Chains A and B, each alone.
Chain A
Amino acid sequence: MSEPVLTVSGLRAWYRTSAYGVSREVRAVDDISLSIAAGEIYGLAGESSSGKTTLIKTIANAIQPPLEVLAGSVVFRFGDRPVDIHRISREALGKIRWKHLSYIMQGSMNVLNPVRRVRHTFFDFAFRHIGRPKPEFLQVVRDHLQRLHLAPDVLDAFPHQLSGGMRQRVTIALATVCRPEFIIADEPTTALDVVVQKGVLAMIHEIQRELGSSIIFVTHDMAVHANLTDRLGIMYAGRLVEEGRTADIFRAPRHPYTAHLIASLPRLGDTAPKKGLDGAPPNLADPPPGCRFHPRCPRASDICRREAPPMAELSPGHRAACFHPEPERPA
């Protein structure tokens, strides 16, 4: 395999807040390592509030207090020089953003300025990077919107005049119009209907094939992962608990949490809801000792209560952090 485009090692990022005189540390990203190759679509799944967004924010260096990076590094390799995104100047970061690296944030209204028409937001962000005269630039934008099944008149609208799904697509358009090499997308398709979702996924896939971009794609929708991503990382309570080729994980999940996740996927035609996990999601300000999944794990034993299992390669390219992994299933 060639040099990875992104190497994350030993990343640890916590929120340190104090409210009512009690300070708390939310360990949202705790010792995560992963790497992503050129042209790869890497999926990230996991429970709500397991730290997916936080991990992605740290990777994109969109860090604001109270979030702090305590340890680890995030190294990108655009061209031939590696850059540690946490150790470069603001100017250098500004240059990388949008052109090489773009980040579609969760909750699309946050990027769209509510008092400005969509057109202006495009000018603010993308005009410099595209470097074409105005009419040509607008044409590029219009063509790009077309691919996302958006009429060009959305450019003249204010964000609140668009439906949730339209806003979502506008932010996707914004992030991809400069054709970046690395796209980070946090829940980009959650507000879309299934027909449009399919179209948008196809477009993302097409851009990716065309440019050979790498993508980190966060969603809790496992069906999207199954159909889009090459590799998949599963997060639980701030840790990466399993990682492998998407097909392998769906066929034979090794971590008990993943196994539950895969088994409980809803399918059209189910007449009863699948059972949710017993017990409450862990509180990241005070995570359980040992393996963070042990209070809800059917396979837990003593060692799980005492020690945190390390990530270990169980079969080629398939890692999991569990003392008692589910049995391997031959293909």
Chain B
Amino acid sequence: MGRILIDLLRFNRQFAVGLVLLAIVLGFALLSFFSPYPPNDSFVVPPDVPPSWAYPMGTTSRGQDLFWLLTFSIRNTLLFGVTVALISRLLALVIGLVAGYCGGLVDRALMSINDTFIVIPLFPILVLFYFVMKDHMSWGLLALMMACLGWAYDARLIRSVALSLRTREFTETGIFSGMSMRQILVEEHLPYVLPIVFSTTMNNINWSIGLEVTLSVLGFTDINTPTIGVLIYWANQHTALVAGIWWWIFFPVLLVILAFIGLFLLAVSMNEYIDPRSRLGRSGG
């Protein structure tokens, strides 16, 4: 794995650029630990100051230093994306591997659940969820909800690989060596699907960040936890653009776009490496 990463860095421009972008965003998020103000305090600095040496990204109409506020917001947003991705990867892995391995009825049952999740419309469900939970709505709950909605497509991908692994003879050798199903799935099959999991993780983080921002901007989330979406929500509430406070919108959007591009490039470059066909071509078959 370490070797692969080094190779990717050396030979793949996309990967290198993606990594640098992500490092910038991540470094920015880490700065939040050094913030002089807690994230939810307002009127700690003069409001509506344009970007300057004292306030590199300006201040908001609520008297917050946008630079430091943004460090918290991007941290929460990234954390949200990663949490959703991790939980949904876990679901996708377990369901995909089990369906592929067991085949038959189990496979059919799991895959029909899977297909239901693929076709149900996400946005209305999430909005509905918000209206049901209302005051109990929290960051964690939303993450869990989105994870439950975000595994289906990748589970199908993993299942198709697992199906073919099931037909390989080494799986039979494992069975006749007395290995349990769990052992075979975790020790024999998992290494084959991990690459898929890595690359879909990036896409999934992107997807969940995008959805979270959309929902937040519209006010369908917990608006007391600062995220990029919530930040833009407040900017809209104060009609920032109309008032000419463009930096309140510009910097959050810029940051989230950087994160998007970084993650996207990583996903694409890893995908290219992982696709068995391109790898076969490289080794010359």
Contact = CB atoms under 8 A, between A and B. Distances in A.
**Direct A–B contact present (CB less than 8 angstroms):** yes
Interface of A: 61-62, 64, 90, 93-94, 97, 111, 113-115, 124-125, 158, 160
A113 B284 contact: no
Interface stretch (B37-45, B76-84, B102-110, B160-168): B160-168
Contacts of B121: none
B177 interface: no
Contacts of B160: 115
A160 B164 CA distance: 8
B161 A124 contact: no
B191 to A, nearest CB: 15
Contact of B284 (A97, A115, A124): A97
Interface stretch (B206-214, B226-234, B241-249, B275-283): B275-283
A90 B281 CA distance: 11
Given A62-B284, A113-B276, A115-B276, 15 more contacts: A90-B284, A97-B284, A113-B277, A114-B164, A114-B167, A114-B168, A115-B160, A115-B161, A124-B277, A124-B280, A124-B281, A125-B285, A158-B164, A160-B164, A160-B167
Contacts of A113: 276-277, 280
State the majority secondary structure of interface residues on B: helix
A113 B284 CA distance: 14
Contacts of B283: 62, 64
A93 B168 contact: no
Nearest to A125: B285
A42 B244 CA distance: 83
A94 B284 contact: yes
7 contacts: A62-B283, A62-B284, A113-B276, A113-B277, A114-B168, A124-B281, A158-B167
Nearest to A105: B285
Contacts of A94: 284
B248 to A, nearest CB: 49
Interface string B263-285: 00000000000001100110111
Q: Counting chain B CB atoms within 10 Å of each CB, which of A97, A111, A160 scores highest?
A: A160
A160 B277 CA distance: 18
A61 B285 CA distance: 11
A92 to B, nearest CB: 12
A160 B168 contact: yes
Interface string B150-175: 00000000001100100110000000
A58 to B, nearest CB: 13
A227 to B, nearest CB: 30
B188 to A, nearest CB: 14
Nearest to B3: A65
Nearest to B276: A113
A111 B285 contact: yes
A115 B164 contact: yes
Nearest to B163: A115
A182 B178 CA distance: 45
Nearest to A111: B285
A94 B285 CA distance: 10
Nearest to B166: A160
Nearest to A96: B284
Contacts of B164: 114-115, 158, 160
A93 B281 CA distance: 12
Nearest to A61: B284
Contacts of B281: 124
A322 B161 CA distance: 53
B168 to A, nearest CB: 7
A113 B280 CA distance: 9
A114 B164 CA distance: 6
Among A61, A93, A115, A158, residue most surrounded by chain B Cβ atoms (within 10 Å): A115
The 4 closest A-B pairs by CB, nearest first: A160-B167, A114-B164, A115-B164, A97-B284
Contacts of A115: 160-161, 164, 276
Contacts of A114: 164, 167-168
A113 B161 CA distance: 11
Contacts of A125: 285
A160 B166 CA distance: 10
